[in-house]
A = this chain, B = another copy of it.
Amino acid sequence: MNTTYLSTPETRTKLAVFYSDTLLKNVIPFWLTHGLDREHGGVLTALDRDGSLLDTDKSVWFQGRAGWMFATLYNTVERRAEWLEAARSCIEFSRKHCFAPDGKMYYSVTREGKPLRMRRYVYSEAFAAVANAAYAKAAGDARAAEDALKLFSTYLRYSFEPGVMNPKFEPTRPAKGLAPLMICIVTAQELRANLGDVTVSGRTCTEWIDASIAEIQRDFLKSDLQALMEMVAPDGSVIDHIDGRTLNPGHAIECAWFVMHEGALRGDKKLIQLGAKILDWMWARGWDEDCGGVFYFRDVFGRPVQEYWHDMKFWWPHNEAIIATLLAWQITGDEKYARWHQRVHDWSFQHFPDPEHGEWYGYLHRDGSVSQRAKGNLYKGPFHLPRMLWYCSRNALDRGNPPPGKFPG
């Protein structure tokens, strides 16, 4: 391949328009039309292929994720009243119905807002924090700004203070995960983008980002294995059991772009190199050379993994890989990333979109055929796909290490 979508200013403009059009004329209208709950407020995500409702139960994660997305479009793309109103609806539903009496957020509630399930972990809080931060900026809502800080503080306490979260395992073999650190980075980045570099639980957002990246680099990044682990022992050693060996390339590639984004914002070459290294290693681990697309799980030593869906192609790792490869090309200028970007862009847009009803399918078999036709559920909704389209539409145009402040979010 000699030319890529990123080769010339003309092709880059075309690409940016493609992302922007897909976002604003296809994906966002799908969710505004079918997902917004005009009766009870908030967003419904369990939608069938044509947008009809499969399940009225509401994901608490998605009240936050969708609220963040709509408020961010309002803040960064255009001041459309319907986006602000959608964000407000998610925030308000969340405030009214998604908190247990002890202040911890539920995982799922009924359409009307009655509690269904509480889980041990605190991702509901992290997604609500970024939604409140973006909404505070969009609406000038002081309570939302306060709530964003409180929610991030709850997130940090449950995620990093020993003993606060109910343990899933006996203390025999302690372990820690990559996910809480990644979510810490992106939550702090979004709070900072919308509220400034505020202090939460004794550290500024930037300090939380620095501490999280440092821990990832020290304990999860393995040069000898050329891999970013999903789970390690507290001292960073590899846990040689099935769960400890299981890599999630799409997740690690998401981590790669969080780190590169931070590097680009600061003009910090070390961070950019770190993110690019994670991308390089995990692309090699995750890209399916036979069928195309990104595998869901891989064993670090090439052994079988436990999860049945290990070789399926989920929508979101492809969203993350499109962002990461584009960003890596943009800030390093390495043509390899332009080629990878084109590969994952082409495979994704050939297999995931539904040409008839819009949006993307979420779950494909390894060969790219559709496994499940729904457009959303408790895990899929207006987040990964529109975030990718939004991020890439704004970042496809330029090349070369951009000055701090260039990046959204």
Contacts and interface: CB of A to CB of B under 8 A. Distances in A.
B304 A308 contact: no
Contacts of A371: 308, 310-311
A109 to B, nearest CB: 8
Contacts of A106: 170
Interface in A331-375: 363, 365-366, 371-374
Given A116-B170, A366-B365, A308 B310 contact: no
Contacts of A378: 306
A68 to B, nearest CB: 24
A247 to B, nearest CB: 15
A242 B363 contact: no
Nearest to A100: B170
Nearest to A369: B366
A31 to B, nearest CB: 17
A170 B303 contact: no
15 contacts: A49-B304, A54-B304, A106-B170, A110-B172, A115-B172, A116-B170, A118-B170, A242-B377, A304-B374, A308-B312, A308-B314, A310-B371, A310-B372, A365-B365, A365-B366
A48 B304 contact: yes
A46 interface: yes
Interface in A369-409: 371-374, 377-378
A242 B308 contact: no
A241 B372 contact: no
Contacts of A305: 372
Interface string A52-63: 001111000000
A168 interface: yes
A241 B56 contact: yes
Instruction: State the oligomeric state as a number of copies.
Output: 2
Contact of A168 (B110, B117, B172): B117
Interface residues of A, number: 40
Contact of A309 (B169, B173, B241, B308): B308
A169 B117 contact: yes
Given A170-B117, A242-B46, A371-B311, A377 B306 contact: yes
A301 to B, nearest CB: 10
Contacts of A312: 308
A143 interface: no
Given A56-B241, A242-B377, A306-B377, 17 more contacts: A46-B242, A48-B303, A57-B241, A110-B172, A114-B172, A116-B169, A116-B172, A304-B373, A305-B372, A306-B378, A308-B308, A308-B312, A308-B314, A308-B363, A308-B372, A311-B371, A365-B366
A55 B305 CA distance: 11
Contact of A173 (B116, B118, B172): B116
Interface in A306-330: 306, 308-312, 314
Contacts of A54: 242, 303-304
A288 B168 CA distance: 37
Nearest to A49: B304
B170 A115 contact: yes
Interface in A109-161: 110, 114-118
Contacts of A169: 116-117
A173 B303 CA distance: 41
A135 to B, nearest CB: 27
A110 B169 CA distance: 12
Contacts of A170: 106, 114-118
A133 to B, nearest CB: 28
